[in-house]
């Protein structure tokens, strides 16, 4: 800050101007430095969430194939231990998925959808007549294959990776992930 | 380029011209270091406001979450320890600066006409600062804050007439808990700041209006100087020094201390106030019982009244004499505060019991921090106080000590005359193997009256060391039998049916000890051993030691007393069981994290 501009009419004798300039600069510099000592850690403090990494999503055993009927979606809860900042919660439902069994011989035999709407994250429900999915918040609607049937959602329902075990009644395992909402690409939340 | 904009704003608000006027105001006899204490207090307040708002973004005021959120700030958030440390130590710096500012104001007679109102607002600021300190101190809901708050609010409750009502309103009832925290939080972050800012604004506005107090004996050689930059420079140096000192102290101490979570049941927590209140604390000791109100209410409010009336002293005494009195008063106060503080510190330094209690509190603090940091453990949803209450090493040890060690011993140590076995690693293979070797040892039944059955067996038994190993292996497996398995189901399991110890057990142990379907006893009375060493066997032993399948056959004077759940709660019993079996993460910080992680699940698995 130039003191002369702040105080253009002050009676300043010439030898004083230099001293004033120096003091003004030194005040700004030292004051700025002192402020930085707090401002930088303060910024780090509030930016903590950006620094934390999301946990790796693993596969969950959810159901057996025999529990599902072809073409009839069923909702299953994802049970996980959960850490909310400082609290460790024991296993409890943390989200849900829709499983839709495909006709015999299809690969994969089951499609898993994240139940969070790609629009703004509400939980998608089944239509009353079971002909498709509908989101109760902004009426995003989807076919049983997850394709949008109106212009509300930005993309189809998010399919989740699945694994099946071998055997006569395979176990269905789903990799539970969340995705960013309101964009056209399916991008995992990190 | 910005000039038209700034002119436009200034024209409508006067913002810049007022600022200019403030900066250009004249410092009589020139700028000086004597004027920096006020701005330094202001800077300290701004530091508190800044760090306080940051902490508010992470703090959670309830008795189950407060400690956890402060733990999270201190140990998990990026530079959280630094922000909280600055808030903590800068609060103390504020107290020091404020005391200095007050002292200086008296010394330079700046409280006098025409600055009485500036002075009175200053006195209000002093009271508000003390209130800030007290309300903030308890927010972490740790032992330190909990017990200090209890003391302070009880002091308030001891005040005549309104005391009990004010106390009840402050803590939100008669018990300390969620309402206490929400109330103190609201006071600390909203009510007090609002009052403080209003008072501070008045104080500063008046200070500017009346100008700075020139030195009592002006140095004629120095001419007047404008505030900016001459005084601003000195202020900034002072503030930077303050920052430097605070940051240094924070760094040196590694941030602010967080004690173990509040535990209303702890019997020996040595509560002490923050060091700047130690003088008040010490003063209380001189006013015992019914005269305590003198130390808690009368003296502090009299001193405060004296400060308020100080400007009027000039009216009854000559100016010089009144100032001399005021200075004497300030010096005596400073001396008394210093003296009482030193006495308080020295009394504690020489008090062995205080050190023991403090060491115990520090141990609990380290343990709580260790458990909170464990992977897979962390802070349970029902609150940080359960960190230690569900820790076998803390809770199991404490209850064992209170309830069991009058007769039993733990690794040879007990608090009474031993008349029962050593409980260390009870139920383990090592315990059985030792028993089979030397039943008459004090570790086993040597000192337990009426328990000579094993000794009698030992005299006649011809089992060699290898055979004893096999028996010990077999019996050690009893503790692992699941609760829902019947003896028949257990015996039909191939690992049990083919165990080499089975036959030896039947022949050697089964003649006295009953295990349904395996042995019938009968030779001598002895406790039943099915699922011996399991948590259920242990629980029945504690709850109903006199049943037929335990030690019901013994004489009344020799029986172990029963402990119902009114004496030892379900949780405490589990903690004792796990403690004697060593099922807890070892309490040292030098344990590799993998080792603690593996053990961590155990203490909380049941919950």
**Secondary structure element (H or E) that encloses residue B47, with its range:** helix B37-56
- The b/e string for A97-109 (b: 16+ C-beta within 10 A; e otherwise) is bbbbbeeeeeeeb
pLDDT greater than 60 at residue B341:
yes
Answer whether B468's CB lies under 8 Å from B433's CB.
yes
Of B322, B397, B195, the closest CA to residue B203 belongs to B195
3-state SS of B319-355 is HHHHHHHHHHHHHHHHHHHHHHHHHHHHHHHCCHHHH
Note whether B400 and B490 are same-domain residues: yes
* Count of domains forming chain B: 3
Q: What is the pLDDT of residues B122-151, one digit of tens each?
A: 999 999 999 999 999 999 999 999 999 898
Inside any domain, residue B599: no
B21 to chain A: closest CA residue: A7
Q: Does B246 touch chain A (CB under 8 A)?
A: no
B58 to chain A: closest CA residue: A46
Distance of alpha carbon B402 from alpha carbon B36, whole angstroms: 58
The closest CB to that of B23, out of A6, A23, A47, belongs to A6
Q: What is the domain-level CATH number for residue B43?
A: 1.20.810.10
For residues B110-115, give the mean pLDDT.
88
Q: Partners of A164 in the beta sheet?
A: A172
Token reading at A33: 């430095």
**Residues of chain B contacting A31 with CB distance shorter than 8 Å:** 236, 239-240
Q: Give the three-state DSSP class for B176.
A: coil
**Residues of chain A contacting B240 with CB distance shorter than 8 Å:** 30-31, 33-34
Q: Does B432 touch chain A (CB under 8 A)?
A: no
Q: Does A45 touch chain B (CB under 8 A)?
A: yes
pLDDT value of position A15: 58
pLDDT value of position B311: 92
Q: Count CA atoms closer than 13 A to A63's CA, side-chain side.
A: 22
Inside any domain, residue B13: no
Note whether B293 and B317 are same-domain residues: yes
Q: Does A104 touch chain B (CB under 8 A)?
A: no
Note whether B311 and B460 are same-domain residues: no
For residues B101-119, give the mean pLDDT.
91
**Residues of chain B contacting A85 with CB distance shorter than 8 Å:** 68-69, 72, 76
Token reading at B186: 């609201």
Q: First CA to last CA across chain A, in angstroms?
A: 44
The closest CB to that of B240, out of A20, A30, A42, belongs to A30
Q: What is the pLDDT of residues B399-437, one digit of tens each?
A: 999 999 999 999 999 988 899 999 999 989 999 999 999
Inside any domain, residue B69: yes
pLDDT value of position B32: 83
Note whether B406 and B476 are same-domain residues: yes
Q: Does B148 touch chain A (CB under 8 A)?
A: no
pLDDT value of position B124: 97
pLDDT greater than 70 at residue B281:
yes
Q: Count CA atoms closer than 13 A to A127's CA, side-chain side.
A: 14
pLDDT value of position A2: 45
Q: Would you call B71 and A6 a contact, using CB atoms and an 8 Å cutoff? A: no
Distance of alpha carbon B521 from alpha carbon B432, whole angstroms: 19
Note whether B240 and B315 are same-domain residues: no
Distance of alpha carbon A119 from alpha carbon B225, whole angstroms: 65
Give percent of chain B above pLDDT 70: 95
The closest CB to that of A34, out of B229, B230, B239, belongs to B239
Q: Would you call A86 and B86 a contact, using CB atoms and an 8 Å cutoff? A: no
Q: Would you call A45 and B239 a contact, using CB atoms and an 8 Å cutoff? A: no
**Strand A110-114 with B514-515, pairing:** unpaired
**Residues of chain B contacting A34 with CB distance shorter than 8 Å:** 236, 239-240, 243
Of A66, A60, A59, the closest CA to residue A170 belongs to A66
Residue whose pair of structure tokens reads 């009346």 in the numeric block? B210
- CA-based torsion, A154, A157, A160, A162: positive or negative: negative
Q: What is the pLDDT of residues B525-578, one digit of tens each?
A: 889 899 999 999 999 999 999 888 888 888 888 889 999 999 999 999 999 999
pLDDT value of position A184: 94
* Band (B464; pLDDT cuts 50, 70, 90): very high
B residues 46..75 contacting A (CB < 8 A): 47, 50-51, 54, 57-58, 65, 68-69, 71-72
The closest CB to that of B71, out of A6, A26, A86, belongs to A86
Q: At what angle do helices B37-56 and B232-253 cross, to 10 degrees?
A: 50
For residues B221-240, give the mean pLDDT.
87
How many CB pairs (< 8 A) connect A and B?
Answer: 101
Note whether B497 and B532 are same-domain residues: yes
- What is the interface pTM, i.e. ipTM, of the complex? 0.84
pLDDT value of position B383: 92
Extract the residue ranges of chain A whose pLDDT is less than 50.
1-5, 12
Q: What are phi and psi of B475, to 5 degrees?
A: -70, -35
pLDDT greater than 70 at residue B202:
yes
**Secondary structure element (H or E) that encloses residue B191, with its range:** none
Inside any domain, residue B601: no
Mean pLDDT (chain B) is 89
- The reported pTM is 0.87
**Residues of chain A contacting B243 with CB distance shorter than 8 Å:** 34, 37-38
pLDDT value of position B221: 62
Q: Partners of B520 in the beta sheet?
A: B514
pLDDT value of position B589: 54
**Residues of chain B contacting A47 with CB distance shorter than 8 Å:** 78
**Residues of chain A contacting B380 with CB distance shorter than 8 Å:** 87-88
pLDDT greater than 70 at residue B259:
yes
**Beta-carbon count within 10 A of A75 CB:** 14
Note whether B227 and B306 are same-domain residues: no
* Band (B600; pLDDT cuts 50, 70, 90): very low
Token reading at B104: 């200086």
For residues B107-132, give the mean pLDDT.
93
B232 min Cα distance to partner chain A (Å): 7
Site from B48, B233, B606 to mutate, A interface, most A CB atoms within 10 angstroms: B233
Note whether B505 and B579 are same-domain residues: yes
Q: What is the domain-level CATH number for residue B315?
A: 1.10.287
pLDDT greater than 60 at residue B594:
no
Answer whether B267's CB lies under 8 Å from B110's CB.
no
**Distances B589 to B151, B362, B597 between C-alpha atoms, Å:** 33, 14, 13
Distance of alpha carbon B303 from alpha carbon B301, whole angstroms: 5
Q: Would you call B236 and A30 a contact, using CB atoms and an 8 Å cutoff? A: yes
Inside any domain, residue B327: yes
pLDDT value of position B595: 33
Distance of alpha carbon B325 from alpha carbon B328, whole angstroms: 5
Residues in chain A: 190
- The more confidently predicted of residues B255 and B377 is B255
For residues B360-385, give the mean pLDDT.
88
Q: Would you call B71 and A23 a contact, using CB atoms and an 8 Å cutoff? A: no
Q: Does A10 touch chain B (CB under 8 A)?
A: yes
pLDDT value of position B525: 87
Residue whose pair of structure tokens reads 């409750």 in the numeric block? B157
B245 min Cα distance to partner chain A (Å): 12
* Band (B356; pLDDT cuts 50, 70, 90): very high
Note whether B123 and B72 are same-domain residues: yes
Token reading at B284: 């209380």
Of A79, A71, A73, the closest CA to residue A96 belongs to A79
Q: At what angle do helices B163-171 and B143-157 cross, to 10 degrees?
A: 150
pLDDT greater than 70 at residue B218:
no
Inside any domain, residue B322: yes
The closest CB to that of A10, out of B47, B68, B226, belongs to B226
Q: Would you call B78 and A83 a contact, using CB atoms and an 8 Å cutoff? A: no
Note whether B457 and B542 are same-domain residues: yes
Domain assignment of residue B315, given as a range: 272-349
Q: What is the pLDDT of residues B158-193, one digit of tens each?
A: 888 899 999 999 999 999 999 999 999 999 999 999
What CATH fold (topology level) applies to the domain A59-175?
Answer: Rieske Iron-sulfur Protein (2.102.10)
Inside any domain, residue B423: yes
């Amino acid at each position: 800050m130039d003191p002369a501009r702040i105080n253009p009419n002050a009676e300043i004798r010439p030898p004083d101007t230099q001293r004033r300039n120096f003091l003004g600069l030194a005040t700004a510099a030292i004051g700025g430095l002192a402020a930085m000592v707090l401002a930088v850690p303060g910024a780090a403090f509030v930016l903590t969430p950006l620094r934390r990494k999301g946990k790796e999503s693993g596969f969950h055993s959810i159901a057996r194939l025999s529990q599902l009927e072809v073409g009839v979606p069923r909702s299953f809860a994802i049970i996980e231990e959960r850490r909310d900042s400082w609290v460790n919660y024991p296993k409890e439902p943390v989200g849900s998925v829709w499983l839709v069994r495909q006709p015999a011989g299809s690969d994969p035999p089951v499609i898993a959808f994240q139940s969070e709407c790609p629009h703004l994250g509400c939980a998608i429900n089944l239509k009353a007549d079971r002909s498709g999915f509908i989101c109760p918040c902004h009426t995003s609607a989807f076919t049983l294959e997850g394709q949008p049937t109106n212009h509300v959602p930005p993309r189809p329902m998010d399919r989740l990776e699945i694994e099946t075990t071998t055997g006569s009644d395979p176990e269905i395992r789903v990799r539970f992930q969340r995705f960013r909402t309101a964009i056209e690409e399916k991008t995992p939340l990190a | 380029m910005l000039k038209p904009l700034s002119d436009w704003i200034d024209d409508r608000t006067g913002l810049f011209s007022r600022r200019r006027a403030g900066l250009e105001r004249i410092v009589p006899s020139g700028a000086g270091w004597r004027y920096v204490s006020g701005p330094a207090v202001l800077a300290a307040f701004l530091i508190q406001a800044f760090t306080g708002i940051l902490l508010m973004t992470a703090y959670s005021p309830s008795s189950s979450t407060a400690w956890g959120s402060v733990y999270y700030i201190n140990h998990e958030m990026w530079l959280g320890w630094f922000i909280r440390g600055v808030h903590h130590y800068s609060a103390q710096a504020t107290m020091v600066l404020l005391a200095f500012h007050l002292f200086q104001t008296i010394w330079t007679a700046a409280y006098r006409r025409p600055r009485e109102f500036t002075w009175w607002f200053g006195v209000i600021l002093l009271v508000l600062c003390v209130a800030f300190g007290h309300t903030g101190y308890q927010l972490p809901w740790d032992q330190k804050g909990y017990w200090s708050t209890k003391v302070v609010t009880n002091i308030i409750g001891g005040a005549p007439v309104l005391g009990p009502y004010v106390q009840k309103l402050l803590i939100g009832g008669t018990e300390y808990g969620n309402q206490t925290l929400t109330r103190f939080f609201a006071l600390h972050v909203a009510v007090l700041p609002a009052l403080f800012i209003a008072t501070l604004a008045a104080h500063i506005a008046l200070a500017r209006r009346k100008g700075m107090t020139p030195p009592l004996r002006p140095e004629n050689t120095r001419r007047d100087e404008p505030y900016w930059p001459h005084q601003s420079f000195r202020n900034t140096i002072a503030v930077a020094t303050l920052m430097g000192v605070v940051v240094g102290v924070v760094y040196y101490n590694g941030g602010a201390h967080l004690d173990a979570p509040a535990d209303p049941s702890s019997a020996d927590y040595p509560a002490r106030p923050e060091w700047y209140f130690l003088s008040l604390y010490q003063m209380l000791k001189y006013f015992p019982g019914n005269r305590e109100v003198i130390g808690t209410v009368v003296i502090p409010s009299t001193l405060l009244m004296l400060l308020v009336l100080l400007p009027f002293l000039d009216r009854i005494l000559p100016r010089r004499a009144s100032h001399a009195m005021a200075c004497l008063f300030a010096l005596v106060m400073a001396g008394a505060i210093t003296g009482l503080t030193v006495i308080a510190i020295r009394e504690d330094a020489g008090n062995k019991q205080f050190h023991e209690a403090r060491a115990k509190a520090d141990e609990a603090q380290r343990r709580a921090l260790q458990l909170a940091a464990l992977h897979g453990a962390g802070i349970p949803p029902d609150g940080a106080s359960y960190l230690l209450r569900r820790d076998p090493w803390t809770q199991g040890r404490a209850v064992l000590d209170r309830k069991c060690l009058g007769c039993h011993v733990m690794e040879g140590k007990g608090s009474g005359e031993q008349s029962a076995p050593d409980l260390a690693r009870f139920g383990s293979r090592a315990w059985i193997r030792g028993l089979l070797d030397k039943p008459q040892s004090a570790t086993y039944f040597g000192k337990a009256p009426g328990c000579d059955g094993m000794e009698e067996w030992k005299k006649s038994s011809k089992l060699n060391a290898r055979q004893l190993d096999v028996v010990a292996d077999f019996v050690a497996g009893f503790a692992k039998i699941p609760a829902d398995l019947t003896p028949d189901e257990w015996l039909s399991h191939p690992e049990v049916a083919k165990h080499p110890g089975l036959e030896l057990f039947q022949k050697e142990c089964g003649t006295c000890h009953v295990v349904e379907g395996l042995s019938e006893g009968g030779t001598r009375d002895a406790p039943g051993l099915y699922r011996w060493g399991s948590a259920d066997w242990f629980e029945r032993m504690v709850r109903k030691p006199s049943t037929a399948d335990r030690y019901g056959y013994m004489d009344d004077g020799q029986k172990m007393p029963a402990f119902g759940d009114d004496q030892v709660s379900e949780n405490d019993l589990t903690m004792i069981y796990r403690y004697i079996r060593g099922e807890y993460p070892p309490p040292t910080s030098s344990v590799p994290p993998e080792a603690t992680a593996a053990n961590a699940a155990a203490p909380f698995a049941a919950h």
